[in-house]
A and B are shown apart, each in its own frame.
Chain A
């Protein structure tokens, strides 16, 4: 069969492959090369070695946005996962209307990031208004605004994954715990959490990588204001490219660093998952 099929490369593989090469492979390779050059258009690049990378680290806004992003990821990963795990525990008990509740909690996840950003901008400005401040008068407001927005958006998604994990736990295991007289907390700690570790890994992976890559919500909620202090990495890279003339090379160098950071996290996470799979 392999030999018959082999002749059909042009029909089966080529259309997808051409689009993939055009949209990903070529831009990716060009991106790596251009990060070592100074350029205004793709064709007039001149080699500058590591200069763009050095300049990226010399501009304080890049390190600020890195630190802001790391803080944001740590806090939002905790709020999202704790809340969604808690919800999934409630929603796996036999309560009337479970499906309706799941539908509601998942809903924000389908709404686009730009829309979510403006929804929360209106609400948070309304909350802050009596105190005579706005979302952008202090970076702390923007930070917590992003955390609230992201928690609202992602909790339902993670809840769905946790619910699936809990439903896969063999009934006998939970019944045995009950017969042995385990309390609710003991059951959660000693049976449910160990049994849903694959779900925990997935949820951590998704919340961490999505947190690092956050762009639309950041752009719509604060756009980095006040003075770039709520600018996350993705937005910082975007602004380096499109907000500052002559900084294409530095923008591309920042993008490469960003890629390495996200890829490293993804690979570490993969490694952890694999180890666990071997153990099981």
Chain B
């Protein structure tokens, strides 16, 4: 007994050290965000002292000069509505192609699954041209693009779940006089909620952090958070390290809040997604 306890203490201590190591990059960024810009590259691991402490100057710059609030707004708008569109339209599509068996629906299913293994670079150039041609190069238009590019994984996960659900329930609803839309929204969709949460989490993580797709389609007119950070590097000549640190902290805060509030769903969503994918 005593021996076992000892070894568990050892494991706890080891994990504790590893956890500190894992957190340290975030903590170092946080610490540096309060230092004057010159001291960040000269002494990145030193605590701020009276000479180097910059109060909230870096945050002021990040929020007002570089426009963090606007970037946050665009990121939030694009992520929320893209995720909602993906859940609504791909669950409907997945139900249709799973329940209606024709050569066409089989082809659609195959194309959707196929799209999951195609890397973005393959369609990068041509997609941005199509988006320009159709005038979808706006934050609102981007929602359609994310729906299209995210449809593969989402329909695959939805249809995987639908296949495991017995038809009887839906047939009973239809016999009782429910129209297909009514059957879908009051019988099928409620059963899909756990899968929908997984789909929402996987897509929210992807879309919120995505850099290249919004950059190539809407450019720097409407900067999302990743684009604003990259622009700080590209647009100002020498990088303002102070503003950079503050922006990195500000970019991480929403993610950490989101993570801590939905942690349970995120972890189980990731497991479910991994098994399906």
Contacts and interface: CB of A to CB of B under 8 A. Distances in A.
| A, B bound | yes
Interface in A181-208: 202, 206
Contacts of A110: 205, 209, 255-256, 258-259, 266
Contact of B112 (A1, A20, A206, A215): A20
A93 interface: yes
Given A12-B92, A17-B108, A112-B251, A87 B18 contact: yes
A93 B155 CA distance: 37
Interface in B231-277: 233, 241, 244-245, 248, 251-252, 255-256, 258-260, 263, 266-267, 270-271, 274-275, 277
The residue among A103, A108, A118, A164 with the most chain B CB atoms within 10 A of its own CB is A118
A272 interface: no
Given A8-B180, A21-B148, A119-B25, A111 B119 contact: no
B15 A122 contact: no
Nearest to A42: B129
B230 A219 contact: yes
A57 interface: no
A220 B229 CA distance: 9
Interface in B38-96: 40-41, 44-45, 89-90, 92-93, 95-96
B93 A16 contact: yes
B193 interface: no
A93 B11 contact: yes
The residue among B115, B123, B277 with the most chain A CB atoms within 10 A of its own CB is B123
B26 interface: yes
A24 B115 contact: yes
Interface in B170-200: 170-171, 174, 180-181, 184
Given A12-B92, A20-B112, A118 B233 contact: yes
A27 B32 contact: no
B119 A234 contact: yes
A241 B124 contact: yes
Contact of B225 (A22, A112, A119): A112
A237 interface: yes
A164 B270 CA distance: 11
B271 A164 contact: yes
Contacts of A132: none
B274 A206 contact: yes
A31 B14 contact: no
B147 A19 contact: yes
A149 B124 CA distance: 25
Interface residues of B, number: 96
Interface in A114-170: 114-115, 118-120, 122-123, 125-126, 129, 152, 156-157, 160-161, 164
A22 B148 contact: yes
Contact of A105 (B22, B134, B211): B22
Interface string B108-129: 1001100101111111111101
A206 B277 CA distance: 9
Contact of B96 (A8, A30, A126, A233): A8
Given A2-B99, A22-B134, A112-B226, A13 B108 contact: yes
A1 B145 contact: no
A238 B124 contact: yes
B126 A34 contact: yes
B126 A16 contact: no
Contacts of B26: 107, 119
B270 A104 contact: no
Contacts of A31: 122-123, 125-126
Interface string A20-60: 11111111101100100000001000000000000000000
A73 interface: no
B36 interface: no
B140 interface: no
A152 B170 CA distance: 46
B183 to A, nearest CB: 8
B127 A160 contact: no
Contact of B19 (A2, A104, A115): A104
Given A22-B134, A107-B23, 19 more contacts: A5-B96, A5-B99, A8-B96, A11-B181, A22-B130, A27-B127, A87-B15, A101-B15, A105-B18, A108-B25, A112-B226, A114-B230, A125-B41, A161-B274, A202-B275, A213-B119, A216-B211, A216-B212, A234-B121
26 contacts: A2-B100, A5-B99, A13-B93, A15-B89, A15-B92, A15-B93, A16-B90, A16-B92, A17-B93, A19-B89, A19-B144, A90-B15, A91-B15, A107-B22, A107-B26, A110-B255, A110-B256, A111-B209, A111-B252, A113-B209, A122-B241, A122-B245, A152-B25, A220-B230, A248-B125, A263-B118
10 tightest CB-CB pairs across the interface, nearest first? A23-B148, A112-B209, A126-B44, A19-B148, A16-B93, A27-B126, A27-B123, A12-B96, A27-B127, A16-B89
